[in-house]
Structure formats: C-alpha cells, structure tokens
Amino acid sequence: MTPMEAGRSRSAPSPLNPMRLQTAVELAARVRAGKATAEATVRVYIDAVLSGDGPLQAFAAFDPEVALEAARAVDSARNRGPLAGVPVAVKDVIDTAQYETAYGSAIYRGHRPALDAACVTLLRQSGAVILGKTVTAELATFAPGPTRNPHALSHTPGGSSSGSAAAVAAGLAPLALGTQTAGSVIRPASFCGVVGYKPSPRCVPRSGVKGTSDTLDEVGAFATSVDDIALIAAVLAQQPEWASLPALGRAGLPPRVGWTLTSRGEHVDTDMRKAVTTAAERARQCGAPVSALAWPNDFDRLFDAQRTIQFAETARALSAEFSYRRADLSVQLIEVIQEAHAFDPARYPKALAVGRACVAKIESLFEGVDVIVAPSAPGEAPASLTTTGDPLFNRPWQLLGCPVIGVPFGRGLHNLPLGVSLVARPGQDALLIEAAAWLERCWVS
C-alpha cells in the first residue's frame, strides 16, 4: 500500500481499556446518560499517562488526585455539560489554578496562577476534567521541550504545542488545548497524525494565556476526529450549535473545494505534494466540485509579513524576560528578539498593512470555493529533537485570520503521518467544520 492509498486514518494507540477507543463525543454521552462515571473515565486516562508518558514526555504537570477530585465533582453535579467527564490536557502556556503553569521556561518554574484562563473555565463549566498540563516549546516560541513524536521517538512532534499533539496521538488524552501564532497547532497535528483546529481571530478567549503576539495568537485544540473538534470548539467559542455541524456536513451537499501548494510549492516534499493532490482528487471522486487555485501575486508577501509581525510582537511581549532574565532564555529566543530589535522602524507597520490589504482582497483567492486544501507542513516530522519544524505553510493563513482544520491524510516515505489543512474564509468556522466532516467521511470511505 502506498502512502496515499493509506488515506486518512485515526490515531489508534493500543488501549489499556476499550474506553480509550471511544471518541470524546461518545465518552461525554455515556457520562451524561449515566452509563459511565466521570471518575471511571478519568481513571482510564490517568492509567494511560502513568504507563505511557515516560518515553513521550508529553506532560509537564500531572496529578492524578487533582484530576480525580474534579471528576467526582462532575459526577455529583446535577447538570452535566456537553463535555461531561471528558479529560482534556492543557498546553502549559495556558493558566490553570490547580496546576503549575511554567510556560515552558525556567523563569516561571513553580508559578501557580491564582485563576484559570478563560478557555479553561469554559471547559470546566462544560463538565470537562483538566487531566494535566502538556509540554510547550519555550514561551510558545521555537526552543523545543522534551516531548517526542509517538510515531518515532527520534522525531519532533512539532511545536510549540508539542505535548498536546503527542498526548492525543498516543491516546493519553482524548482532547487537548494548544495555541498557535504561526503553525503551533496545525503543524504538530500533521506530524503526530491527529486533527487540529485553529479558529478565526478572537473566536476563543485568550485571557489567561501567555501571549507572544497580539495580532496572531489564538487558542486551538487537538482531537482524533472532526466530531470531537466540533464538540470542544462549540464550548470554547460558546457556539453550542457547532457540536451538531459534523452530522449536517456529512448529510449535506459537498463543499466546493480548491487546492493549492501556495507560492512556495518548491518547499513541499514529494509525499506532501501527493497528499494534497490526492486529497483533492478523492474529494472530486466523492462528488465535490474541485479546482486548482492560482496563488495571487500580492499574497506572496504574507509569508514574510507574518514572520515580521510575529518576531516584532514577540520581542515586545517578552521584553521583561529579555531585559531581566536573559540568561534563562534559549539562544533561539534571544536571536529572535535581537533580530526584531534590528528591524527598520517601518518594517512592522508595513507588515501589518500587507495583512490588511490581503484580507481585503481575500476573494481573489477563495472565489468560487468554500474551503481550500493546502499543505500543513513541508512533509513528515523531521528526524530531530532540536527543532519543531518549519511553519512556512501556516504563516499566510495565520495572518489572514483564516480558520484551519488540519486532518491526517496518509503517510510519507518514512511511514510517518502527513496532514493536509482545510482552510475557510475568516469567520466561517461553522462552514469549515461542516466541510471538514464531509471530507473526512470521503477520505476514510
């Protein structure tokens, strides 16, 4: 079987218990119906972390008693929410009152926030149980943490949401939160073979999240299916109807699909190129109108503009750490900040203007299509633990503010996962979820 014949497959770890084969949708339904308790559900995943996280090092903070206490509170509650009893792992740049939140940095070792981040509060209010904190690259930037790829321990899981992607891929958690400034959700989702979701700007609250870019930062999520992404997205965005969108998408008309390698196709390896083109062809065979898209010339400026904005705003956001605790920062981060300090004063406002101009002309890219299929990364996860991979193919969508769902699609030369990005216009997250559900069914059938 070739990598592309393998198609899209769900991560399937060897379970300690059949419950770990169930989706978050199924787990929550069982707890709400009284067929399982939140405590029993959480115990399964506690056992999974205790037995499976040693070689992966996906978790930065983990306390079984804290998780079990939260699960018992769900069981004793009169009203159980849409995520009742579902364990959720949380990236360690997102504040949690019950767990240390160190932001992947020695500077904040031992830091215990007084309150949960707003997105964590929404999860708790929905009945979710915070399973623990997952490893992040340093301050959600570029220096990797210790997490390894579950599919090949000598390969990066991606970043900066490395622990969250690895935990879901290995079956240690059914859902996890991440953050993205360039490609920190979609790229590790691709490398680890799971589904990732990066919402439209300001769709999910960022209060209580360690920021690196006011313009670009977003809170996203990882799961093993589009159904589960819809469930957690409905909670995080406070849009309850989103949870039912996958069923509507699978039963509805096919989306109009465009595909592109962007203007940087020379950086896509052979397997990723095949993944994108085969995904588009499979959609056509399933009845979707499909077209190859020309990348507008002006949009080529998005790649450098996003990088400029990210670096400039990271230098600004981390100015205190750089000024007072520079010795505790990585060489990679110091170099980013120093590069930003050397920018011509006009470079940053010009980059912001590029983003605004391209958003105003976004129909020149999306004309005639509902969603775009594009690379999630240049290829498979690199065979390195000193890099989190290249976010090149995530940069334009991030600056445009497009919602993205990354879906696994086949494997590459070294039998590691590949993922393709499904991209919609800014603000069209609901349409994207429907389309992703339709395409997911197409690709696994």
Catalytically active residues, by annotation: 91, 160, 184
CB 169 within 8 A of CB 155: no
At 152, phi and psi to the nearest 5?
-165, 105
- Which of 282, 283, 275, 277 is CA-nearest to residue 416? 275
Estimate the share of the chain in helix, then strand, then coil, as percent rounded to the nearest 5: 45, 15, 40
| β-strand pairing of 257-259 with 290-292 | parallel
Is residue 156 helix, strand or coil? Answer: coil
Is residue 316 helix, strand or coil? Answer: helix
How far is the C-alpha of 279 from the C-alpha of 193, rounded, in Å? Answer: 15
Residues contacting residue 73 through CB under 8 Å, at least 6 positions apart: none
How far is the C-alpha of 169 from the C-alpha of 385, rounded, in Å? Answer: 18
The sign one gets for the Cα dihedral 191, 192, 194, 199 is: negative
How far is the C-alpha of 44 from the C-alpha of 131, rounded, in Å? Answer: 11
Q: Both tokens of residue 116? A: 């949960």
Q: Both tokens of residue 187? A: 């790229």
How far is the C-alpha of 99 from the C-alpha of 64, rounded, in Å? Answer: 11
CB 226 within 8 A of CB 433: yes
Q: How many CB atoms lie within 10 A of CB 387?
A: 15
User: In 137-264, which residue ranges form alpha helices assigned H by DSSP?
Assistant: 162-169, 186-192, 226-236, 245-251
Please give the order of strands across the beta sheet that includes 218-223.
Answer: 59-61, 129-134, 87-91, 175-180, 218-223, 195-198, 404-411, 417-423, 371-375, 257-259, 290-292
Q: What is the largest CA-CA distance in the chain?
A: 62
Distances (CA, A) of 268 to 3, 88, 397: 16, 33, 17
CA 428 to chain centre: 17
| β-strand pairing of 175-180 with 195-198 | unpaired
Query: Would you state the torsion angle of the CA atoms of residues 115, 118, 121, 122, taken in this order, to the nearest 10 degrees?
Result: 180
